[in-house]
Amino acid sequence: MSFILALIPGDGVGPEIVNASKRILGKLIENYDLKIDIIEVEAGDSALAKYGTALPQQTIDVINKADVILKGPVGESAMDVVVKLRQMYDMYANIRPAKTLPNVQSKYSNVDILIVRENTEDLYKGYEYLIDNDSAVGMKIITRKASERIAHVALNYAVKRKKKVTCVHKANVMRITDGLFAKACRNVIKGIEYNEMYVDAAAANLVRNPNMFDVIVTTNVYGDILSDEAAQIAGSLGLAPSANIGDNKALFEPVHGAAFDIAGKDIANPTAFLLSVSMLFEYLYDKSKDNRYLKASNSLLDSIISVYSENKYTTIDVGGNTKLSQMSDVIYQRIK
Amino acid sequence: MSFILALIPGDGVGPEIVNASKRILGKLIENYDLKIDIIEVEAGDSALAKYGTALPQQTIDVINKADVILKGPVGESAMDVVVKLRQMYDMYANIRPAKTLPNVQSKYSNVDILIVRENTEDLYKGYEYLIDNDSAVGMKIITRKASERIAHVALNYAVKRKKKVTCVHKANVMRITDGLFAKACRNVIKGIEYNEMYVDAAAANLVRNPNMFDVIVTTNVYGDILSDEAAQIAGSLGLAPSANIGDNKALFEPVHGAAFDIAGKDIANPTAFLLSVSMLFEYLYDKSKDNRYLKASNSLLDSIISVYSENKYTTIDVGGNTKLSQMSDVIYQRIK
Ligand SMILES: CC(C)[C@H](C(=O)O)[C@@H](O)C(=O)O
Ligand SMILES: CC(C)[C@H](C(=O)O)[C@@H](O)C(=O)O
């Protein structure tokens, strides 16, 4: 089985991280004899400046035929790139692991939460209107279909983990919309431990005792907020990878933004991007059932973790003093 | 100036906390010769069971003529009590301090954030509909008027504090609704330090460095989530007081819920309720400009803080072994 990968370098620290990661990607493809065709495309602020649109037609043409998209962080035009792509290709499951890495200073230890965020509806549909100059309305859309399919995703992850799902909503206030979401989760998630929690309580409980959570399934807006919070509790938002998975296409991206303030200085941390690459290989394994993809995924993950365990070649944001280029070089060397 | 106070004991731990606090309230009224008429009314799950409605007409009749409402926590019917009251009486400013108390174990120190949450619109309006059996829509309503007036409230608090407001929104996605909110804040909040932050970043930054915040102003849903998170970061959600302030009426309540699991055991912590009482007196001072109310507010606050500083008479939730009745007794004794 062969795959087409559309690669978006993005903005800010995106291009330098993607650049440093390309060699790693190449080595994995070579070592494991993978059939991946990489096509680089433009999207984001730089594309907007150049072509007048953050997501140019030639980029869409490539993505149309691609199996997977690997994306660096994008600047202010992120909404027009990533939210649009999620909806265009119905990539409905946003998978956000919040997992502690060795030696990353944190007030919490051994955090290991998987947030499964519904990725296509809620206020993210963008159905928003000015009623008049002084009042606006946005539509929070919740459907049974989208809620049930995300619940299935959460259930599937949970059976491979600690068999526990927390459905997060606010159905005591949003009785109809969040009520529908909660009911769908209740109907689908069976045979494992299941509980529900209001989103405000979940935000507090993540701080109080993150280890009470395994898989969290929630709607788009709450998922956006809780996944950033959880990533920071696990160590740093700057280290969090993510996957956007649909039935026919998937996009992988770091959760962090373009960080323009440190761009071009060779000090950005490539971890979140590389962990996203590892998730990408795992996804290709799921698609192909070809073990080589799983091995590539694990090889990359092991290399990253070994660098953190050794605690010698990490970037400044996690207390080290290694440059981006050197850290990715060390990871490259350790790829088996 | 004399005031009418409607007192709602609420559900779960509510009645025992309110009961233990009544003596304290009485002593303050006596010591400072305050003119407050307390009328006890029913609302919540117990009222629902008894009268078929969580907010009975006789309660509304009293609240109609009351100046302030003091409310214990309410159970599952909270939406029909507190969200309804907020809207009925246009109590548009939900003021939520997240402040560290002495000796309360926390991973963070000296947290002191004031969350100013818009309290009347957003999805809390309750404009929600089933489109058909399988899809639902909720309306996020944002108006310039409500946004500007909450921005004014934030500005007024900020000038009395560290002169810094962070406006939290997600206008990169909700361009029209959150865009309107952000614009209103930008127009109103002048002459002090002002910045804006996306809600997901704010949720992470509260974990990363809560001391970067002074006053946070935000919409209803984000405020609900962030205030619980911030309260927990300051020490415990169980200690957080709040005020719901309108032009003609105000309601004071602990942020925590009814905690049915520990009800009737005399172990609940009265702090959040009593801190809410202190906020109530401060509000009456603002209304009357009569210094005695301010002194009463400070006397209660000092008594609570002295108990925490001494660290001998606190309840089990904060690591002590004092009963609710004894802790409130000690606070009572210390009222000057
Ligand atoms: C950039 C933004 C549109 C995006 C979102 O809100 O989904 C980001 O915050 C994320 O979580 O991936
Ligand atoms: C009980 C609930 C309706 C309420 C809210 O969501 O506003 C509570 O969580 C709060 O924050 O006061």
Q: What is the pLDDT of residues B132-166, one digit of tens each?
A: 999 999 999 999 999 999 999 999 999 999 999 99
The one catalytic residue among A224, A249, A285, A313: A224
Asked if domains B1-92+240-336 and B106-234 share a fold, the reply is yes
Q: What is the whole-number distance in angstroms between the Cα of residue A123 and the centre of ligand 1?
A: 12
d(CA B186, CA B245): 22
Residue whose CA is at the smallest distance from ligand 1 atom 5: A224
B80 catalytic residue (yes or no): no
Residue whose CA is at the smallest distance from ligand 1 atom 7: A224
Q: What is the pLDDT of residue B306?
A: 98
Q: What is the pLDDT of residue A1?
A: 84
Q: Are strands B93-99 and B215-218 parallel, antiparallel or unpaired?
A: unpaired
Structure tokens at A130: 């000015």
Cβ pairs bridging A and B (under 8 Å): 164
d(CA A116, CA A92): 10
Q: Is A115 on the interface with B (CB under 8 A)?
A: no
Question: Given this structure, which CATH class describes domain A106-234?
Answer: alpha beta
Residue whose CA is at the smallest distance from ligand 2 atom 3: B79
Which pTM was predicted? 0.97
Q: Is B213 on the interface with A (CB under 8 A)?
A: no
A329 catalytic residue (yes or no): no
Question: What DSSP element (H or E) covers A262?
Answer: none
pLDDT mean by block of 10 residues, chain A; 336 residues: 96 98 98 98 97 98 98 95 97 98 94 98 98 97 98 98 98 97 98 98 98 98 98 96 98 96 97 98 98 98 98 95 97 97
Which residues lie closer than 8 Å to B245 by C-beta, 6 or more apart?
B91, B92, B93, B94, B95, B153, B283
Alpha-carbon gap: A39 to the closest alpha carbon of chain B (Å)? 28
SS3 A3: strand
Q: Is A174 on the interface with B (CB under 8 A)?
A: yes
Q: Which residue of B has its CA nearest to A256?
A: B201
Alpha-carbon gap: B307 to the closest alpha carbon of chain A (Å)? 23
**Phi, psi of A146, rounded to the nearest 5 degrees:** -65, -35
d(CA A105, CA A113): 18
Give me the residue from A76, A144, A203 closest to B229, CB to CB: A203
A200 catalytic residue (yes or no): yes
Q: What is the pLDDT of residue A248?
A: 96
The one catalytic residue among B61, B200, B247, B286: B200
Q: What is the pLDDT of residue B1?
A: 84
Give me the residue from A129, A180, A204 closest to B237, CB to CB: A204
d(CA B85, CA B69): 10
Q: Is B159 on the interface with A (CB under 8 A)?
A: no
Mutate to test the interface with B, among A77, A80, A119, A128 (most CBs of B within 10 A): A128
Instruction: Encode chain B in three state secondary structure.
Output: CCEEEEEECCCCCHHHHHHHHHHHHHHHHHHCCCCEEEEECCCCHHHHHHHCCCCCHHHHHHHHHCCEEEECCCCCCHHHHHHHHHHHCCCCEEEEEEECCCCCCCCCCCCEEEEEEECCCEHHHCCEEEEECCEEEEEEEEEHHHHHHHHHHHHHHHHHCCCEEEEEECCCCCCCHHHHHHHHHHHHCCCCEEEEEEHHHHHHHHHHCHHHCCEEEECHHHHHHHHHHHHHHHCCHHHCEEEEECCCCEEEEECCCCCHHHCCCCCCCCHHHHHHHHHHHHHHHHHHCCHHHHHHHHHHHHHHHHHHHHCCCCCHHHCCCCCHHHHHHHHHHHCC
Q: Is B180 on the interface with A (CB under 8 A)?
A: yes
The one catalytic residue among B32, B89, B92, B124: B124
Domain boundaries, chain A: 1-98+239-336, 106-234
Residue B62 CA, distance from chain mean position: 21
Fold assignment, A1-98+239-336: Isopropylmalate Dehydrogenase (3.40.718)
B224 catalytic residue (yes or no): yes
pLDDT mean by block of 10 residues, chain B; 336 residues: 96 98 98 98 97 98 98 95 97 98 94 98 98 97 98 98 98 97 98 98 98 98 98 96 98 96 97 98 98 98 98 95 97 97
Q: CB A8: neighbour CB atoms within 10 A?
A: 28
What superfamily in CATH does domain B1-92+240-336 come from? Isopropylmalate Dehydrogenase (3.40.718.10)
Amino acid present at A42? E
Q: Which residues, judged by CB distance below 6 Å to any ligand atom, belong to the binding site of ligand 1?
A: A 78-79, 82-83, 224; B 172-173, 200
A283 catalytic residue (yes or no): no
